Structure formats: C-alpha cells, structure tokens
C-alpha cells in the first residue's frame, strides 16, 4: 500500500485532466481530481463547444440571404438570442454530466473546489489536505483584457456566452482565432461588428495568403475590420460605451469584447514556492514528457502554453498517463497538427506556412487557387474560396495545406492524414477528385505560383 492517499492528484477537470485521469485509472492508479468550476473545462463549458453551437446558429443568417437565389422566400425570419443561449446551456449541462461521469465510471475520486499545492506531495482542496505520489497540473488558462482605462467595461469570451441580449453594436478587440470567430458569430446574428487589431494583419502565425484572404472575406460579410488600430480607453456614454482608438477617433458600442490573449492558470497555486519553474507568461515549464522541474509534478494542456488546442491537451494527458502509469514511453508530436478557425468563412490548416517552409527547406513549390464556390453562382454571394499547397521542392513532400472557405476544418482533417503519412505532390495528383466539390481542387492544382513569399 502506498504511503499516499492517491497515486495521482489532478488539478483541473478539463480536456487534459479528464483524459489523463481516465487512462491512469485504467492502468490501476488511484486517482483524484479537483475542479473549481465545471467538469469538461474550457472546451466544453466556455470554449470550443458553445462557440461552435453559436457559429452554427449564426450561419443561418447568411443562409437565409443565399436561399433567395434558389427560389426560396424566407419571410418573417427572426432570431431570438434567449432561445439560442438557453438551448446552448442545456447542451452544455448535458455534456458536463457526461464529463463528470467519465471520472466516476473510471473510479476517480472527484473534489468540487479549488485546489492549491502545499508541498510536493500534498494538495489542499476545500480546506482538506490530500496526499498523492504524483500531481498533474491541468488548470488551463483564462482570458486577459488589455491594460487600458475602462477595461472593466469590456467582456471576454467567458461572458460572451451569457449575455442577456444580443448587442446591437459590438467591438471585438484582437486578431486571433477567438476574435475572428466571435466577429463572425455576432455578425451572423445581425449585430453591427467592428473588429480592431493592433498588428499588421489578423491570424498571426498562419500562412500569409490565408491571413490576407480571410481579412478580405470578413470585410465582404460586413465586418468592419480595422488593423493597425487599437483601443486606448473605454467609457460609459449616454448611448452606450464610447471607445477611443489609437487613430484619435471614437466609436460607440453596446458591447466591447476583448479577445486579446490568454494566460495560464498558475496564480496562487503555490507552484513557485515548491521550485516548479514557470516562464514569463506564468506557464509551467515542462519537458517532452510533460514533467516539470519538480520530478513528481507534471503539467499538460494550456497551463503549459505549448499548443493551446483541446486535442493537444487530450493527447498530452494521454501520453502522460501512458508514460507514468502504463509503462509505455509516449510523448506528444507537435508536427502536422491540423487546426481550424471557425470564422465565416472558416480556415483550415495543417503543416507549415509558406514562410516557415521556405525557412526550413529553402526551395518550395507553392500551388494556390482562388475561386467562386458553386453555391455562390446562383446565390449571388461574393465569397471566394482559397486553397494552397506548400511543397518541399527537393522531396516533393507536401508540407503545408491551407484553406479559407466553407467547412475548411472538415476538409483539412482528411488531408492531415495524408500529410502525417508523408504524402507527396505526386500522391495528391494521383488522387481522384470528388466532383463537384470544393475539396477536389486540392487534387487538381497543377500550376506552380511563381512569386516570392510575402513579408
């Protein structure tokens, strides 16, 4: 019998913690978890899932407009925010029960409360000390607002899911994926949306063609996107919030949402006092096996700020459990992780951007196509799809695939398997397309783009 109450204590019942707990318990470990808010974590409660439900809801706004070209008369279509939010909350409540059930079915002891670490083998939760052989930090992150006067008048994604009413005029701050997604959500529901981003172009870190193309598409859908523009102050005015901008102008809004970054949840956990190294952002520094500088303390997911995506947190949690409790040495591989941005239109991406590929391989071949989706020919929509292949010229391996267009995430998921398997451009060429689809363009691009990478 071990000298500790549990073999593993997990702090945080989100994506990484749930997977690690279930798998470790499956190997026979005695596991406990503490969750201070709701089981399922950010993804299920106030991230991926409720966000995607809102995206689905808001897409109908555009679909009704498009329907006219196909002969439909959609009269009297009205949107009710309260119904959308109530139905979303019902679904999230259902999922939360499932996530709690995963722990209970696996025999994991659950503590509902905030946990802190007292010493390298002791966690305190609800005033009670609990000992464990290993501790896994899976506490995720939280949104941060810009440090400007009036920041307390802003909301973040956390509050956006619970607004009492749909704001008429919304200002979204930020150029990352969450900012782009919420700009699309509010726009689709009929709000007047201004998106402000202080940098040169939205979606920093993505392929430049994708960034530029998406920016143009967002504007076409009616979003007032302003780059190189930041907010300096927010005040309460008579007709709503008054937002001062770096260009000296002001805007009026009913809601200002900051999507300006997230910070790992390590404040007040007690980790520094134990000698656990944190980086300047407050993220737990870990090695490739998610082990911190204190050997029996591990960390997975957003709290490590490696690649902040749910499937990555899940895999890190799984690899941790396999390695530490399953006797199999496993680690997360961060190459060719596909991702989507559920903007409208959406973005799908896997592998390297053109700029990254040029840096790594020197000579790369680029294939790119921009075209009008078939659906738009009759609906009269202005949207254009962009698809791009980045190929290592020497080996012919496809090293990056990017898309802006409807259901880009669904399309890129399949292509990610090809990249993982090492597919070459010749393999893409030898693949028969599915006609008529947008996706078939990925196997019919023949002409190389002959221009240097954009800055």
Shortest CB 309 distance to ligand FAD, Å = 4
The correct pick among 16, 326, 383, 405 for binding ligand FAD (CB under 6 A) is: 16
Give yes or no for residue 138 binding ligand FAD (CB under 6 A).
yes
Alpha-carbon span 229 to 226, nearest angstrom: 6
Is 229 one of the binding residues for ligand FAD (CB under 6 A)? no
435 tagged catalytic: yes
Q: Which is nearer to ligand FAD, 47 or 175 (CB)?
A: 47
Residue 311 binds to ligand FAD (criterion: CB under 6 A): yes
CA quadruple 258, 259, 264, 267: dihedral, nearest 10: 0
Does residue 11 bind ligand FAD (CB under 6 A)?
Answer: yes
State the residue for tokens 């920016």: 215
The only residue of 187, 221, 244, 265 in contact with ligand FAD, by rule CB under 6 A? 265
> In the chain, how many H helices and how many E strands?
12, 21
User: Least distance (Å) from ligand FAD to the CB of residue 191?
Assistant: 17
Please tell me whether residue 343 binds ligand FAD under the rule CB under 6 A: no
Helix (H, G, I), strand (E, B) or coil at 332: coil
Contact 321, 16 (CB under 8 A): no
Contact, 30 vs 6, CB < 8 A?
yes
**Residue number with CB closer to ligand FAD (299 or 391):** 299
**Residue 36 binding ligand FAD, by CB under 6 A:** yes
> Per CB under 6 A, does 51 bind ligand FAD?
yes
- In this structure, the number of other CB atoms found within 10 A of the CB of residue 1 comes to 4
Structure tokens at 250: 């002001």
Identify which of residues 13 and 188 has a Cβ nearer to ligand FAD in the complex: 13
Six token digits for residue 313 = 């947190």
Per CB under 6 A, the list member of 7, 10, 12, 412 interacting with ligand FAD is 12
Measured from the CB of residue 132, what is the shortest distance to ligand FAD in angstroms? 14
CA distance 222 to 438: 24
* Separation of alpha carbons 8 and 36, rounded Å: 18
- C-alpha span between 219 and 225 (Å, rounded): 6
Contact segment (CB under 6 A) with ligand FAD among 2-10, 12-20, 385-393, 423-431 equals: 12-20
CA distance 260 to 244: 17
Would you count residue 37 as binding ligand FAD (CB under 6 A)?
A: yes
Judged by the rule CB under 6 A, the positions of this chain that interact with ligand FAD are 11-17, 34-37, 41-43, 47-48, 51, 114-115, 138-140, 157, 178, 265, 269, 301-303, 308-311, 313
Tell me the catalytic residues.
Answer: 435
């Amino acid at each position: 019998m071990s000298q500790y109450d549990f073999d593993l204590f997990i702090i945080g019942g989100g994506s990484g913690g749930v997977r690690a707990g279930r798998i470790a318990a499956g190997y026979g470990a005695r596991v406990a978890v503490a969750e201070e808010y709701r089981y399922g974590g950010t993804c299920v409660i106030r991230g991926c899932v409720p966000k995607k439900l809102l995206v689905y809801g808001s897409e109908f706004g555009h679909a009704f407009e498009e329907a006219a070209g196909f002969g439909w008369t959609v009269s009297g279509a009205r949107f009710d925010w309260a119904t959308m939010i109530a139905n979303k909350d019902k679904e999230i409540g259902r999922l939360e029960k499932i996530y709690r059930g995963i722990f209970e079915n696996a025999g994991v002891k659950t503590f509902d409360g905030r946990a802190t670490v007292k010493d390298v083998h002791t966690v305190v939760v609800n005033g009670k000390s609990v000992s464990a052989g290993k501790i896994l930090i899976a506490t995720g992150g939280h949104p941060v607002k810009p440090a400007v006067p009036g920041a307390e008048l802003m909301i973040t994604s956390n509050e956006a899911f619970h607004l009492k009413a749909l704001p008429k005029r919304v200002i979204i701050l930020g150029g990352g994926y969450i900012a782009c997604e919420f700009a699309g959500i509010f726009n689709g529901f009929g709000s007047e949306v201004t998106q402000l981003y202080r940098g040169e172009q939205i979606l920093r870190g993505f392929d430049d063609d994708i960034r530029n193309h998406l920016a143009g598409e967002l504007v076409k859908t009616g979003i007032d996107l302003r780059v190189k523009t930041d907010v300096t102050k927010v005040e309460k005015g008579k007709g709503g919030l008054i937002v001062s901008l770096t260009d000296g102008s002001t805007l009026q809004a009913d809601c200002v949402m900051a999507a300006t970054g997230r910070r790992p949840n390590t404040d007040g956990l007690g980790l520094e006092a134990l000698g656990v190294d944190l980086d300047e952002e407050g993220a737990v520094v870990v090695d490739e096996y998610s082990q911190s500088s204190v050997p029996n303390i591990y960390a997975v997911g957003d709290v490590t700020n490696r690649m902040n995506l749910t499937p990555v947190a899940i895999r890190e949690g799984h690899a941790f459990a396999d390695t530490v409790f399953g006797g199999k040495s496993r680690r997360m591989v961060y190459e060719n992780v596909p991702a989507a941005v559920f903007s409208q239109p959406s973005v799908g991406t896997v592998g390297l951007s053109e700029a990254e590929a040029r840096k790594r391989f020197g000579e790369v071949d680029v294939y790119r196509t921009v075209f009008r989706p078939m659906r738009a020919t009759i609906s009269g929509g202005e949207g254009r799809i962009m698809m791009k292949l980045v190929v290592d010229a020497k080996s012919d391996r496809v090293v990056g695939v990017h898309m802006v267009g409807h259901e880009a995430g669904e399309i890129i998921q399949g292509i990610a398997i090809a990249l993982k398997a090492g597919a070459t451009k010749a393999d893409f060429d030898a693949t028969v397309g599915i006609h008529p689809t947008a996706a078939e363009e990925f196997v019919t691009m023949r002409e190389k783009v002959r221009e240097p990478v954009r800055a």
